[in-house]
Amino acid sequence: MEKHIPVLLKETIELLNIKPNGVYVDMTLGGGGHSEAILEKLVNGKLFGFDQDIFAIEKANERLSKYNNFQAINDNFINAKNRLNDLGITKVDGIVFDLGVSSFQFDMPERGFSYRFDAPLDMRMDQTAKTDAFEVINNYEYEDLLKIFFEYGEEKYSRFIAKNIIKKRQISPIKTTFELVDIIKESLPNKELNKKGHPAKKVFQALRIEVNRELEILEESLNNAIDLLEVGGRLAVITFHSLEDRICKQLFRNLSTIDIPKGLAIIVEEKPLITLVNRKVLTSGQDELDLNNRAHSAKLRVIEKNDK
């Protein structure tokens, strides 16, 4: 199994401005890379790590077993604020979200995330969730499939793919990743099939986002995270998809500005809720791009919470 390499690790840790005695949260524990780097900076501080994937929790606990100031919590980050409040934690000094999928999820064929392996259609990060990729592909209406593929995958041949899925599943259920890959390939013109990259990539991405409600819960989770921050606390978010980054960019822009009507001659004393630590989004340098293919689409945004 390929080792998960955290993206933009150095930049994230530097911009979090970690306090040795602070309280920190890794909202997307995954392979534990960001968590380990944070723990290395802590002395008497504490780190909480969230992941809805029990396999990720187990792997992170193994990797971070030498740290007695780390606690893993098996839950979706949408519930992080309430779970921390239950533990008596109402404010924290820093939070990180790495919204990419962990490498081990792609590398475990039985999880059904990858178009590289033939496996049952699944794609659930939370293995106890009811909706999986089989449910979406075999029971969603044509209009819903079209919307998912076009909006979440930005797939321009969504119409043809959705139509062919409906046609095929009327004969028999579509059960595996390779069955779906074949339908996608049959739906695309030769000029698309001859392009670099896998023809099923966009549809598989869209399915994963739908199954795990990734965009649906992101904005609420970010607002909850900002509410958790102490004054001066920082939030770092790494995105890998244009829709994720757009949500972050718009939210952070709205919360970092005070809306004043044009031509109104007043002195503004009110501070915005947050300040943008990096006004220009950060991306990986060439050295990281050479070492880690996942880094090509990664974008890092960091904000700091202001005093009222």
Q: Which residue has the tokens 């530097």?
A: 14
Mean pLDDT calculated for residue range 114-139: 95
pTM: 0.90
Q: Is 60 exceeded by the pLDDT of residue 194?
A: yes
The reported pLDDT for the residue numbered 104 is: 66
Say yes or no: 231 and 152 in one domain: no
Task: Quick: pLDDT tens for 270-298.
Answer: 789 999 999 999 999 999 988 888 788 99
Structural domains in the chain (count)? 2
In this structure, of 27-36, 107-116, 201-210, the range with the lowest mean pLDDT score is 107-116
Mean model confidence pLDDT for the chain: 93
Say yes or no: 257 and 136 in one domain: no
Mean pLDDT calculated for residue range 74-93: 98
Mean pLDDT calculated for residue range 218-234: 98
The reported pLDDT for the residue numbered 91 is: 98
Is 111 a member of any domain?
no
Length of the chain: 308
Question: Minimal CA–CA distance to 83: which of 50, 110, 54?
Answer: 50
Torsion angles phi and psi, residue 190, rounded to 5: -60, -35
Is 1 a member of any domain?
no
The reported pLDDT for the residue numbered 261 is: 60
- Please check whether residue 45 is in contact with residue 81, taking contact to mean a CB–CB distance below 8 angstroms: no
Task: Quick: pLDDT tens for 181-192.
Answer: 999 999 999 999
The CATH number linked to 153 is 1.10.150.170
The distance in angstroms from the start CA to the end CA of the chain is: 48
Q: Is 80 exceeded by the pLDDT of residue 62?
A: yes
The reported pLDDT for the residue numbered 258 is: 83
Q: Is 50 exceeded by the pLDDT of residue 102?
A: yes
The reported pLDDT for the residue numbered 2 is: 47
The reported pLDDT for the residue numbered 1 is: 43
Is 3 a member of any domain?
no
Q: Which of 211, 229, 252 is the last residue of a domain?
A: 211
Q: At residue 81, what is the residue type? A: K
Domain that holds residue 173: 130-211
Is 122 a member of any domain?
no
